[in-house]
A and B are shown apart, each in its own frame.
Chain A
Amino acid sequence: MMVVNTRRLLLSAGVILLFFSAGHASDCFNCHEAAGFSGKVVHQPVADGDCTICHSPHVSRHKGLLRQAEARLCYSCHEEVAAQVEKKTYLHQPVRQGQCSECHLPHAADGRGLLAKNGSALCYGCHSEAQNAYKFTHKPYQRGQCNVCHTAHASDDSRLLKKVGSQLCLDCHKTTARLKKTHLGRDLGVLDCLSCHNPHGGVERKFLREVSHQPFADRECESCHGQPSGTGLCLGCHEESLASFQVVHSHLGVGGTANACTVCHNPHVGDRPGLLPKNEGRICRSCHVDTFARRDNMLHQHANWNSCSDCHQGHGADNPAMLKNGQDVCAQCHERHKAFSHPMGEAALDPRNGKPMDCLTCHDANTGTMFKHFLRGSGERGLCVQCHQSY
């Protein structure tokens, strides 16, 4: 008799606990306007009225009374995304920062995937540089369907492409005899289509990148092909370039046994003079993986950090890190700072090594840092006491 009573008591207590702990949207909507939680697509917990799946109604250490940090909370249900992020090399920046809500609305939206905006409108919010007008436009780009080629979360390609190499293109552009003939019979499966074609659009029907190597434009393939393909082939015509490599830190020799020039330069077409792509950081990343990985994890980064040649001399320089103009590289853009900053040069020797101070003594414009203005330490104290120890 006693056992039965105890059981009943426990059962009742459980029901009471469940009642009070379960989220009831109707309770929430007493204060939070319900209209703000409706749309063509509604997040399942919202549709189920289960606000407390994500929110803690009383207290939380996370913004919006979220039960966990944003990404962790999302991954607790969206395990397939978590698995993808775990496996891939390159993460979309909001993903890396755990900010799912940069792209997704948590309650309801008008588009699939609870995206804040539809199609390319969402992407251009950050990637405005990708919004261009072309005479001839690739259909997915024209339709604003970035996700035909790009994946939004993570990829093994730094451009977040869905597939690496030519396979992405060949999924739509079937290998025909004509396509193969155009590419001189080469195995299309091993070609890098994007090195010659701009996947967004171009000035001509095949979206070839705009600047052509003269022999390619003149269809004089044999002037390069059919000869020894080493670096000497390029220097044979571009002899004047040799001097730019005869410096202390030189990029001549980055190709191993292959041609050093074609590691960076496309021998056929490019986006700009020098037959380089617009996205030059992608080339640099292929060798300087560690620098880019470090930068990816920093809170404060130099603007335009992907335009490496703004600060670095591509062929080489006498200065460490192949910096342009040595210590004056920053003054190229930050001319005013030179006049009012901390003393620099021979007038201010770094007590740590006796070398003249420069901008890079305190700032790390290369990889960025966790501190404002990419200072190498806290500007409040930590950085300054490196030298001013009596402070």
Chain B
Amino acid sequence: MIMNVKQITLGFGVLLAILSHSGLASAAAGSWSTKYRLPQEDSGVRLEQPVAVAVDHQNQRYYVVDAKKGQLVSFDKAGGFLAAFNAGGELQRPVAVAKTSSGSLWVIERSINKLLYINPKQQKIRKFAPKYPDGTEMFLSRLALDRQDRLFVLDRLKGAVLLLDDSLEISQVYAGGSTTHGFVDFKLQQGKLWALDALDHTLYRFDLSGTVTKKLKLSGLEFPTAFEIDNAGSFYLLDRHAGTVVVYGMNGMRSYDFLAKGKWSGQLWNATDLLFDWEGRLCVVDEGNGRVEVLTR
């Protein structure tokens, strides 16, 4: 009997070893599949150049930024098309959006390098060009709001994330120091700010006072451009050139990857952004294929 138990244990060990060696184990761990895509194939809606997505957790809606069409396109919780919005022609090359709890939108408009505050109800648009105290301009590329609607922006010119106050003055800087190549994406999670140095393949964790409290060097990436963090603390790195999403544990150990480079459904071609929605589904913005894959597992 003891012999049998030993044999079974050994059998499991061998099976696990084979699975992990062949990659089947990682495939099993990463069994993500497309729930739906934005826009749905039969919707008659076409995204020319989706580059970013924002989620309205309260109303369960998606807002996709179509840079080429100069539009924000909204979808409902089932992926159904709701509306396309160009702010009366003010959106020419939008590259990022975030929605406040009051329903207003912050948009980065690249063509004029300005931050737009759009109140859809009042149909009012205000344009801002936030600057450093010494008058230096910013070159904004990503933005996010925390639960108190505080605005965080990524300035590519200095490669730093900035917390802006109500008058859009800088109240905190999150910079990696002189050795970084600058950040290309950031995420807020549980009172911490994480930022990605893409060239160095390193994630930085800051406390909200701007101090670096952790650095994670990630292996096995070609050209990461965006990332997300799930509730368990795992990191999802979008590798634009490889066409994959690579998952790392909270200690930075590579766990598995999913998706592949290509043009068929479920494949990626120059993807740009990652975001979890209100149900933990992963939205992958695929610029080259003109769609957003909403993945679940």
* A→B interface (CB under 8 Å): 228, 230-232, 242, 245-248, 250, 252-258, 260, 287-288, 290-291, 294, 318, 320-321, 350, 352-355, 386
Extra 17 A-B pairs, beta carbons < 8 Å, given A248-B110, A291-B223, A352-B289: A246-B110, A248-B51, A250-B110, A252-B139, A253-B155, A253-B156, A253-B159, A254-B182, A255-B182, A257-B159, A257-B180, A318-B49, A320-B270, A321-B270, A354-B46, A355-B290, A386-B263
Instruction: Tell me, rounded to whole Å, the shortest Cβ–Cβ distance linking A102 to chain B.
Output: 29
Alpha-carbon separation in the docked complex, A144 to B141 (Å): 50
Q: Are B262 and A256 in contact (CB under 8 A)?
A: no
Q: List 21 A-B contacts (CB under 8 A).
A: A231-B157, A242-B113, A245-B139, A248-B93, A250-B141, A250-B156, A253-B139, A253-B155, A256-B182, A256-B197, A257-B176, A290-B222, A291-B241, A318-B68, A320-B49, A320-B287, A350-B263, A352-B262, A353-B264, A353-B289, A355-B289
B169 interface hit (Cβ, 8 Å): no
Nearest Cβ distance between residue B240 and chain A, in whole angstroms?
9
A255→B155 CA distance, assembly (Å): 12
Residue of A at shortest CB range from B222?
Answer: A290
A232 to B289, CA, bound (A): 36
In B44-82, the 8 Å CB interface with A consists of 46, 49, 51, 67-68
Chain B residues near A232 (CB-CB < 8 A): 136-137
Report chain B residues within 8 Å CB of A287: 181, 199
Contact: B112 with A246, CB < 8 Å?
yes
A353 B263 Cβ-Cβ under 8 A: yes
| Cβ contact within 8 Å between B68 and A260 | no
Q: How far is the CB of B48 from chain A (nearest CB, A)?
A: 9
Which residues of chain A have C-beta atoms less than 8 A from B176's C-beta? 256-257
State whether A252 touches B157 (Cβ < 8 A). Answer: yes
B262 to A, closest residue via Cβ: A352
Residues of B within 8 A of A321 (CB): 270
In the assembled complex, the CB of A314 is this many whole angstroms from the nearest CB of chain B, namely: 16
Residues of A within 8 A of B157 (CB): 230-231, 252-253, 260
Write the B166-184 contact mask toward A (1 if CB under 8 angstroms, else 0). 0000000001111011100
Whole-angstrom distance between the Cβ of B244 and the nearest chain A Cβ: 12
Tell me how far the C-beta of B251 lies from the nearest C-beta in chain A, rounded to whole angstroms: 24
Contact between B160 and A353, CB atoms less than 8 A apart: no
Residues of A within 8 A of B238 (CB): none
Q: What number of A-B contacts does a CB cutoff of 8 Å give?
A: 99
Contact A247–B182 (Cβ < 8 Å) = no
Nearest-Cβ distance from residue A367 to partner chain B, whole angstroms: 9
**How distant is B260 from chain A, measured CB to nearest CB, in Å?**
13
Residues of B within 8 A of A (CB): 41, 46, 49, 51, 67-68, 93, 95, 110-113, 134, 136-137, 139, 141, 155-160, 175-178, 180-182, 197, 199, 222-223, 241, 262-265, 269-270, 287-291
Distance of A352 Cα from B139 Cα, bound (Å): 35
Closest to A355 in B: B290
The chain A residue sitting closest to B197, CB to CB, is A256
Min Cβ gap B230→A in Å is 26
Distance between A141 CB and nearest chain B CB, rounded to angstroms = 34
Pairs A-B, 10 closest by C-beta atoms: A253-B156, A256-B182, A352-B263, A290-B222, A353-B289, A256-B159, A256-B181, A320-B270, A248-B67, A353-B263
Q: How far is the CA of A111 from the CA of B80 in the complex (A)?
A: 74
Asked whether A318 lies within 8 Å of B158 as measured between CB atoms, the reply is: no
Residues of chain B contacted by A354 (CB below 8 angstroms): 41, 46, 290
What B residues does A320 contact at CB under 8 A? 49, 270, 287-288
Max chain B CB contacts within 10 Å: which of A232, A256, A290, A355?
A: A256
Most chain B C-beta atoms within 10 Å of own C-beta, residue among A245, A257, A291, A320: A257
Contacts of A250 in B (CB 8 A): 110, 139, 141, 156
Assembly CA distance A250 to B108 (angstroms): 14
Known contacts A248-B67, A354-B46, A253 near B291 by CB under 8 Å: no
- A245 (CB) vs chain B CBs: closest residue: B139
**Max chain A CB contacts within 10 Å: which of B157, B177, B178?**
B157
Provide the bound-state CA to CA distance between A232 and B288, in Å. 32
Cα A95 to Cα B190 in complex, Å, equals 51
Residues in chain B near residue A294, CB distance under 8 A = 241
Out of B51, B112, B139, B175, name the residue touching A257 (CB < 8 Å). Answer: B175
Cβ-neighbour of A255 out of B159, B288, B289 (below 8 A): B159
B252, chain A: closest CB distance, angstroms: 20
Contact B158 A248 (CB under 8 A): no
Q: A246-B110, A290-B241 given as contacts; is B160 within 8 A of A257 (CB)?
A: yes
Min Cβ gap B64→A in Å is 14
Chain A residues within 8 Å of B223, by CB: 288, 290-291
In the complex, what residue of chain A is closest to B159 when comparing beta carbons?
A: A256
Task: Name the B residues within 8 Å of A253 (CB-CB).
Answer: 139, 141, 155-157, 159, 182
In angstroms, Cα B136 to Cα A230, docked, is 9
A248 CA / B287 CA spacing, docked (Å): 11
A363 to chain B, nearest CB (A): 14
Complex Cα gap A353–B261 (Å): 13
- Given known contacts A232-B137, A250-B110, A256-B182, is B270 in contact with A352 (CB within 8 Å)? no
A231 to B134, CA, bound (A): 13
Tell me, in angstroms, the Cα distance from A348 to B182 when the chains sit together: 40
> Residues of B contacting A318 with CB < 8 Å?
49, 67-68, 93
A320 to B270, CA, bound (A): 7
Q: Is the CB of B95 within 8 A of A248?
A: yes
- Please state if A246 and B159 are interface contacts (CB–CB under 8 Å): no
| Cα distance, A318 to B68, chains bound together (Å) | 8
Task: Determine the distance from Cα of A260 to Cα of B159 in the docked complex, in whole angstroms.
Answer: 10
Determine which of B46, B111, B181 lies in contact with A254 in the assembled complex, contact meaning CB atoms within 8 Å: B181
